[in-house]
Amino acid sequence: MGIDTPEAAGVPAVSGTHAPQSSEDRADRAAATVRGDESTSVAAGGPAGAVRAVKMPLVDRIASAVVTAAPPILVALGMWLGWSDGLLIWQDLLVLAFFYAAIGTGITVGYHRLLTHRSFKCHRVVRAAFAALGSAAAEGPVIDWVATHRKHHQFSDQTGDPHSPQLDLREGWRGQLWGLVHAHIGWVFSDMEVADERRYAPDLLADPLIRFVDRTFVLWVAVGLAAAFGAGAVLTGTTTGGLTAMLWGGAARIFLMHHATFSINSICHAFGRRDYETGDQSRNVFWLAIPTWGEAWHNNHHAFPTSYRHGLTRWQLDPSAAIIRLLELTGLAWDVVRVDPARRARKLSLPAA
């Protein structure tokens, strides 16, 4: 069983920190390292002053626009066909539910808790498999996704955060609305300064299997779509059934997963409970817990970034944590990071907002 320390989180010891430290100090350094706000952080890839300005290439902006805009158009087409021509059948909904859960696990367990925050360890082939599964969600190549998320933690709700709803300079409800729009989807299309992968994800750049998955991102998106087609064709015995399953288990699934992830950036930094003092506006939003596979316990996550559990109490449902626990029980995961209850108690906000 892991605990919330640098070693358990898979974060190498930071040079120049040989003085004795309490377990809580080590836990804080682990969280800081994964957030990227240590001056010599491995996750940040070097001294805080060594920052390269990296602009998003035009081709990437166009690709982001297409990947983000195409699914809702196809979903609208699917709804029209389903309701007008009776093409929406139970097999389509089954494929949608299965692929939403399976590929969503690639994002929440793979991209986020394993590769970004190192909440557990596993075999390098399993790491690569999670990266490929997450790639099928069409949320971006794995190294770029991880680097962007680590940058978000470093600058959470401050200048430099790629997708905070708190930074719009306009006052009143217009500023709040535009902040939410930016955090939810606007940042995807903006001419923003993107996270430097050499600074924020050197560990992934050093892994040849992860680099291969990153380079072949489009392949894994296509595999996800083809798998949905195959499942529909098998369930219905028809090519038409395969095509409608690909529409719902592919385009609709991508659309719904995108906006579940986007809601963490927007809603979970604007509405909900703040059980822990984190220095930002991260919130717990209970009604998003299931659609986001446990990621909506976002204030908990910002308080303890390396924890494999985001739902820290019995009633905070967290399917992703249950999957990691199952991997641990079967021997596929180890050094699973847990937060000391006493440390949780010390960090509670009084009263909770």
Per-residue CA distances from 182 to 32, 59, 69, 137, 297 (Å): 26, 20, 15, 21, 21
Render pLDDT for 251-308 as a digit per residue (tens, 0 to 9): 899 999 999 999 999 999 989 999 998 888 999 999 999 999 999 999 999 999 999 9
Integer Cα distance of 35 and 154 in angstroms: 5
State if pTM tops 0.85.
no
SS3 193: strand
Average pLDDT of 47-76?
59
Render pLDDT for 120-168 as a digit per residue (tens, 0 to 9): 999 999 999 999 999 999 998 999 999 999 999 999 888 877 777 776 6
In which band, very low, low, confident or very high, does the pLDDT at 317 lie, cut at 50, 70 and 90?
Answer: very high
Beta bridge partners of 273: 284
pLDDT of residue 127: 97
Integer Cα distance of 153 and 151 in angstroms: 5
Buried b (16+ CB within 10 A) or exposed e, 86-95: ebbbebbebb
Render pLDDT for 218-250 as a digit per residue (tens, 0 to 9): 999 999 999 999 999 999 999 999 998 999 999
Say which residue, 11 or 89, is predicted with more confidence.
89
Buried b (16+ CB within 10 A) or exposed e, 46-58: eeeeeeeeeebee
- Give the mean pLDDT of the chain: 80
In which band, very low, low, confident or very high, does the pLDDT at 56 lie, cut at 50, 70 and 90?
Answer: low
Say which residue, 79 or 53, is predicted with more confidence.
79
pLDDT of residue 35: 41
Render pLDDT for 325-347 as a digit per residue (tens, 0 to 9): 999 999 999 999 999 888 888 88
In which band, very low, low, confident or very high, does the pLDDT at 48 lie, cut at 50, 70 and 90?
Answer: very low
User: Within its chain, how far is the Cα of 181 from the centroid?
Assistant: 19
Poorest-confidence range of 2-6, 160-164, 209-213?
A: 2-6
Contact in structure between 51 and 199 (CB atoms under 8 Å): yes
Half-sphere exposure of 209 (CA within 13 A, CB side): 11
Closest by alpha carbon to 147, among 100, 93, 192, 202? Answer: 202
DSSP H helices, the chain, are: 23-35, 58-85, 90-105, 124-135, 142-154, 172-181, 187-189, 197-200, 202-205, 208-215, 217-236, 239-246, 253-265, 298-303, 319-329, 341-347
DSSP H helices, 183-216, are: 187-189, 197-200, 202-205, 208-215
Contact in structure between 263 and 287 (CB atoms under 8 Å): no
Where along the chain do its domains lie?
A: 23-347
